[in-house]
Amino acid sequence: MAPATSVAWKKRAEQAARQCVTSGAAEDHSGLFQPPAPFAELSLAAKTDALADLFGPLLAEYGHVAGIIVSNAARRRLPLPPDEDALRPAARGFQRGLPLDRVRETVVIPRRILLPEQTNLIARMCDSEATALDWALGKLGVPGGVASLLADSSTPPRASRLWTP
């Protein structure tokens, strides 16, 4: 990982850790974890180890932080790659293909003393994310899931009396 990138990531994580001292929770949805090119090319196991090495000391310094989750679903790939798990000593990495053409990579870095049930909940959520939308649509009575909501490009557009500019 590039030194400048790791310094920036660590600085933002420290800000979030200080923020949650008073609020009880912290989230960062700023796109901070868009991986730089060299990092993006690493295997899931190597990314998981690198992020655990980067953020492990932060968890030791901020005892109130239960863990750090780094997730990115910006990559578009067809065909979708197979699901992959990287269960490393200090962290867990997950790669899942999402409906249509997205790939999500998630790395969960728990505190060393965290109860396994808490980390396992996150693992189960990551594991079932790709099928969750189809499941929910089925519960709502939409047969065929996500695919049934998409317009088939071979179908001619339907004429509409609604005027649109």
52 contacts: CB under 8 Å, gap ≥ 6: 88, 89, 90, 91, 107, 109
Q: What is the mean pLDDT of residues 21-50?
A: 69
Give a yes or no: residue 88 inside a domain. Answer: yes
CB 61 within 8 A of CB 77: no
Overall pTM > 0.85: no
Helix (H) or strand (E) holding 10: helix 3-23
Give a yes or no: residue 165 inside a domain. Answer: no
Q: Report pLDDT for 59.
A: 82
Domain residues for the domain of 34 are 3-132
Q: What is the mean pLDDT of residues 17-43?
A: 63
**Higher per-residue pLDDT: 80 or 25:** 80
* Among 95, 107, 116, 101, CA closest to 55: 107
Give a yes or no: residue 118 inside a domain. Answer: yes
Mean pLDDT score of the chain: 75
Give a yes or no: residue 9 inside a domain. Answer: yes
Give a yes or no: residue 162 inside a domain. Answer: no
- Report CA torsion sign: 25, 71, 129, 49: negative
Give a yes or no: residue 104 inside a domain. Answer: yes
Q: Is the peptide bond before 57 cis (omega within 30 degrees of 0)?
A: no
Q: Measure the CA–CA gap between 137 and 107, rounded to whole angstroms.
A: 27
Domains identified in the chain, total number: 1
| Rounded percentage of the chain residues whose pLDDT exceeds 70 | 66
